[in-house]
Structure 1
Amino acid sequence: MELRQLRKTYRLGQHVVPALQGVDLDIQPGEMLALTGPSGSGKNTLLHLAGLIDRPDAGSITFDGQRVETLPERALTTLRRDAIGFIFQSFNLVPVMTVADNVDYPLFLANRPSAERRERVRAALAAVGLSEHAQHRPDALSGGQRQRVAIARALVKRPRLVIADEPTASLDSHTAEQVLDLMRERCHAEGAACLIATHDERAVRRCDRVITLCDGRILPASTPVLEIRA
């Protein structure tokens, strides 16, 4: 994915808040990229633009060689469904569905054949070490296991990009490290680019590359950030 001169502003009453001010970023296949910076620096805005959830006010987004920022909403929905996986801090699993059904859901939405769906769900759960929990519901799992389900769900459709928003914030240190190692292993194995917004130094250490946002701009690598708050 190539992001060029992205700009995004929000209006709060009489005030215009510049969330992004000319951001350039390339995200490579198989790369795990950490997005850091103080609260209010523009991380969530950049995640939403890269995940095609929102549109920039200016600039371009190129995905698999195609300019996508001006596509119709239906086309963006299809692209998100088929090519982008999402991992959230709060897991966002459907509580009344089994683990297997949660992982299967993106394939169901994409109208994949039943036999293919069963095999891909089986392989995805095996890859995250949850084969024995396929028929359990999320409330029967630990936080780390639920995040593993979320990783399997994000990767089961073989996305070209994974967007992760503070994926370790709800986890203890040991579990967080296991989840991060798994994310790194699976994204590399699948060749999926992974963009992670995080305040967690453990996540930063496991990423291939780190960029820091401040006041809507990417800082040069040598520029210190004075404050990073959870």
Structure 2
Amino acid sequence: MRPSVVHLNGISKSYRMGEVGVRALSDASLSVSPGEMLALTGPSGSGKSTLLNIAGLIDCADSGRYLLEGREVGALDEHERALLRRVAIGFIFQGFNLVPVMSVADNVDYPLFLSGVPTAERRKRVGEMLAKVGLSEQAARRPDALSGGQRQRVAVARALIKTPRLVIADEPTANLDSQTANQVISLIRELCHEEGAACLVATHDSRMSDRCDRVLAMRDGCLLETVPPAQTLQGEAHEVA
């Protein structure tokens, strides 16, 4: 059995809203292996985003252990979390979160630039990644000149360009039509498998959860039983256009 990229054990998190304490997560535990896509489903407010934020080193748990590739990371300070996030974790968002004044190529290049990768290597890797996501001809265009599906492909390319160990995807298909969603899902699966990255997805979209390797339901901050995907491999024949 392959070692887990992500291992969360007994994670709990509470917030205060005025005078009221809110339990966002309660004793949540999960593991994600290299190349595996794990979906978190459940209604709004069930704890999905809180769990993603903790796994993505954006927030810290109140209690529990977080191991990233065997390293205890739950007690890192904010600066240490930011440095590790920069090299080890890629993010894909519902709203794309692209820099509007930068070209497609520059958006994809940005994580490499922040990591200090030499210019020649950056150009080579960006060109290769844009070819993989089918956007070589769009490299010089800005995000507002692209369709929603193309912008999400840029976001996928940006998330994977630095070869992260973990990809966090928050509702990545929510704004896409069915054909485009299937293409984006296939692209995420293909690239995460190719790079050996674990992928943790929060989604309300059955098109997404049905194509993941495992599905965990969430309710009231608790992880429930594993829900078998209805069609994990269905749609694998869909090619990225």
TM range (shorter): over 0.9
Q: Distance between the aligned counterparts of 2:80 and 2:14, measured in 1?
A: 24
Identity of matched residues, %:
64
Which residue of the partner structure matches residue 86 of structure 2?
81
Query: 1 or 2 for the larger relative contact order (CA 8 Å, sep ≥6)?
Result: 1
Q: Which runs of 4+ in 1 moved over 6 A?
A: none
Q: Which runs of 5+ in 2 are unaligned?
A: 1-5, 228-241
Q: Distance between the aligned counterparts of 1:210 and 1:101, measured in 2?
A: 34
Q: Distance between the aligned counterparts of 2:54 and 2:193, measured in 1?
A: 23
Per the TM alignment, residue 38 of structure 1 is displaced from its structure 2 partner at its CA by 1.2
Match status 1:66 vs 2:71: yes
Q: Distance between the aligned counterparts of 1:142 and 1:182, measured in 2?
A: 16
TM-score (norm 2): 0.91
Q: Distance between the aligned counterparts of 2:78 and 2:17, measured in 1?
A: 25
Per the TM alignment, residue 17 of structure 1 is displaced from its structure 2 partner at its CA by 0.7
Which residue of the partner structure matches residue 126 of structure 2?
121
Is the partner of 2:113 in helix, strand or coil?
A: helix
Stretch deviating more after TM superposition (99-108 or 59-68): 59-68
Which of these residues, 99, 106, 111, is aligned with residue 106 of structure 1?
111
Q: Is the 8 A contact 2:214 2:226 kept in 1?
A: no
Per the TM alignment, residue 117 of structure 1 is displaced from its structure 2 partner at its CA by 0.5
The root-mean-square deviation of aligned C-alpha atoms, in Å, is: 0.8
- CA deviations 1:46-98 (Å, max 9, x no partner) are 00000000000001111111111111211110100000000000000011100
Which residue of the partner structure matches residue 228 of structure 1?
none
Which residue of the partner structure matches residue 7 of structure 1?
12
Which residue of the partner structure matches residue 36 of structure 1?
41
Query: Across the two proteins, how many residue pairs are aligned to each other?
Result: 222
Per the TM alignment, residue 221 of structure 1 is displaced from its structure 2 partner at its CA by 3.3
Q: Which runs of 5+ in 1 are unaligned?
A: 223-230
Matched ranges for 1:171-190 at <5 A: 171-190=176-195
Which residue of the partner structure matches residue 61 of structure 2?
56
Which residue of the partner structure matches residue 18 of structure 1?
23
- CA deviations 1:11-59 (Å, max 9, x no partner) are 1111111000000110111101111011111000000000000000001
Q: Distance between the aligned counterparts of 1:221 and 1:81, measured in 2?
A: 31
